[in-house]
Amino acid sequence: MKKQNKSMIAMMHRLVNSCGKYKASIRAAYIPGFFKGMCMKAPQMLSFLLVSGFMAGTMTKQTCLIYGAVLLGCVILQAILQNVSDRLQSAAGFKVFADKRMQLGDHFRKLSMGYFTDGNIGKVSSVLATDMNFIEENCMMVLEELVGFMISQGLMIGFMFYLGWQLGLVATACLALIILIGNLTTRKSISHSIMKQECSERLTSSVLEFAEGIGIIKTFNLLGEKSKEVNKSFEKSCEESIRFEMAYAPWWASLMISYGVGTALVLLVAGILASKGMITTEYLMGMILFLFDVFAGIKAYYGSIARLTVTDACLDRIESVFDEAEISNDGTKKLPAAGASSARDVPEISYKNVTFAYGNKNALTDISFDVQRGQMIALVGPSGGGKTTIANLLARFWDVKQGSIKIRGTDIRDVPVSDLMNNISMVFQRVYLFQDTVFNNIAMGKTDATREEVIEVAKKARCYDFIMQLPNGFDTVIGEGGADLSGGEQQRLSIARCMLKDAPIVILDEATASVDADNERFIQEAISELCRGKTLIVIAHRLNTIRNASKILVVENGKIAESGTHTELMAFGGLYKNMVDRQSLS
């Protein structure tokens, strides 16, 4: 079925199927919805019986009391049924999306880093903050209501036939016309809902980009220009909303007119039948009681079009994120422990003919090298040459296209990601700290760490002194991204986090590249503590920091251009020597 031809029933069915283990509970809500729909129409039917009884002179006090008791019972029963339905359906809706958010978080954990660097942050934010919230708060309770509306509409048509088969046929014909126009309205709403959600995603991306880059924007005095770009995004969103309303309004107006025309036709036919004596005055009065409620069920049903079509578009976007391919995590092998006898005769880390591309752009070509346990390997070279990519592939932020990467003789793709990451610590040049206490930010390296362990690594990472100067020491809540701390202080906290993890392999994207001289000494001391007895891969920017490396790999244009110790490469007189000479002159 093409999306534009999707019916409301199909959208309801899709929404229920997306609820997984909770769909049985949601479908169970149809039962109280069915009886609630009957109770909704009970007052009109009882009113008809009362009017008929009074006009026929057969009404007694006892009959009035019975009708009153039945009416009261219907009202009470309707409230009870609504409560049961809410418990089965609305409560299940919140549970569904609580689980969905957890599943999405787990899914994000298994995606390659490429997904987050390819401009998908706006989509991720929209799915979490907009799409799931919309369905959760606006649509889960609609399902039972729609069932009730369909039931009540069926009862109304049935009652028209009871009053007179001619009235029933006219009402049925009008209902068919309303359904035809309603389905056309649904198609129009679906096509524009997709565009509206895409526009919302672009708007979210634009606002996030503006917020994240506000510092650079202010520095280069681009606040006005970038504000214009965000304003344009808001204007496009507004234009799309207006375009939707302009396209949708005629169909919605036609639907409203069809209700009025249908009601007028039923009244006209009833008047003709009464004038010819084909229906009694009592039945005419009963029909008039029902007149403006004849198509109330279908009217309410199609009144939910906008919510259901937006929900359908939301589900598309949620499913598109879940459909993103995860990095394979079906490995069953276990890495030998660092220093284990089975791992002594093989390199700690081994790259063999590794080739990798970002999309169609080749980033690495035929990279091969070994790292022995306890060695320090430095990756140097021009920016964009592939140094960071080499390091990131070891942590499986992406998977290699060709070749293999092994740790202690085991291909990292054959190992569960959790086991792999237990063996690797990474210190990034750009540090991220969470809006949480200092203690919890450090304890991420070992979630069951004691306070004494955290304090000990804080001292080794040269950050204990500045932590104790904070208002609440280790219990001080720092701003998101570490906004309350200097760059050097943030870097030392990240090193403390890695020290607590105590992984045998450390990847270091040189942490001193963008800090002042005062902090550099503390950070170098912290790094020395971190790397003691570890196997180390350093992405080096300041070449004087890697003179004592076991091996230096010069990476250029995705290939290893030179390899050797500092002394060997200086004697060779190639690219590395030129880089050292340039830094010495600067």
pLDDT at res. 554 = 94
Letter string b/e over residues 447-462, b meaning 16 or more CB atoms within 10 A of that residue's CB? eebeeebbbbbbebbb
On the question of pLDDT at 4 being above 50, the answer is: no
**Which of 287, 380, 355 has its CA nearest to residue 47?**
287
Least reliable range by pLDDT among 121-130, 176-185, 261-270, 379-388: 121-130
pLDDT at 11: 77
How far apart, in whole angstroms, are the C-alpha atoms of residue 463 and residue 329?
Answer: 36
State pLDDT tens for residues 437-496: 999 989 987 888 899 999 998 988 888 999 999 889 999 988 765 667 887 888 888 888
pLDDT tens string 541-564: 778 778 888 999 999 999 999 999
Q: Contact 204/122 with Cβ under 8 angstroms?
A: yes
What is the separation, in whole angstroms, between the first and last Cα of the chain? 67
Q: For 126-138, what is the HEC assignment? A: HHHHHHHHHHHHH
Alpha-carbon distances of 65 from 50, 60, 72, 286, rounded to whole Å: 11, 9, 10, 20
For residue 368, the model assigns a pLDDT of: 94
- What local confidence, expressed as pLDDT, does residue 355 receive? 94
Most confident of 135-144, 226-235, 501-510, 567-576: 567-576
pLDDT value, residue 581:
87
pLDDT at 186 over 70: yes
What pTM did the predictor assign? 0.63
**b/e per residue 225-245 (b: at least 16 CB within 10 A):** ebeeeeeebeeebeebeeebe
- The pLDDT tens digits for 406-436 are 999 899 999 988 888 889 988 877 777 888 8
pLDDT of amino acid 365: 92
pLDDT score recorded for residue 352: 95
Q: How far is CA 565 from CA 201, 325, 392, 547, in A?
A: 50, 41, 23, 8
Q: Identify the bridge partners of residue 411 per DSSP, sorted by sequence position.
A: 406
Cα distances from 520 to residues 302, 457, 462, 497, 511, in angstroms, run 66, 18, 11, 18, 9
Tell me 511's DSSP state. T
* Phi and psi at residue 32, to the nearest 5°: -65, -30
**Residues 243 and 275 sit within 8 Å (Cβ to Cβ):** no
| Contact status, residue 261 vs residue 174, Cβ threshold 8 Å | yes
Residue 220 in 3-state DSSP? coil
* Coil vs helix vs strand at 552: strand
Cα–Cα nearest to 296, from 157, 183, 181, 184: 157
Distance CA 467, CA 475 (A): 9
Residues with Cβ within 8 Å of residue 252, at least 6 apart in sequence: 185
Longest dimension (CA), the chain: 120
- With a CB cutoff of 8 Å and minimum separation 6, the contacts of 115 are 324
DSSP class of residue 146? H
Closest CA to 427 of 445, 454, 408: 445
Phi and psi at residue 330, to the nearest 5°: -105, 15
Q: Which of the two residues, 167 and 218, has the higher pLDDT score?
A: 167
CA dihedral 196, 197, 201, 207 (to 10 degrees): 50
Query: Collapsing DSSP states into helix, strand and coil, what is residue 447?
Result: coil
CA dist., res. 130 & res. 226, Å (int): 24
Residue 317 pLDDT exceeds 90: no
Residues 555 and 579 sit within 8 Å (Cβ to Cβ): no
Evaluate whether 240 touches 195 at the Cβ level (below 8 Å): yes
Give the per-residue pLDDT at 585: 64
Alpha helices, H only, 448-565: 451-460, 464-468, 487-501, 517-531
Q: Which residues make Cβ contacts (< 8 Å) with residue 227, sequence separation at least 6?
A: 210
Report, in this order, helix, strand and coil percent for the chain, each rounded to 5: 65, 10, 25
pLDDT score of 350 more than 70: yes
Instruction: Compute the Cα dihedral for 108, 112, 115, 116 and give only its sign.
Output: positive
CA pseudo-torsion sign 230, 313, 298, 93: negative
> Quick one: which of 313, 259, 303, 334 has its CA closest to 123?
313
pLDDT of residue 511: 57
What 3-state DSSP class applies to 544?
Answer: helix
pLDDT the model gives residue 331: 79
Give residue 2's pLDDT band: very low, low, confident or very high (50, 70, 90): very low
Residue 507 β-bridge partners: 426, 537
With a CB cutoff of 8 Å and minimum separation 6, the contacts of 513 are: 429, 541, 542
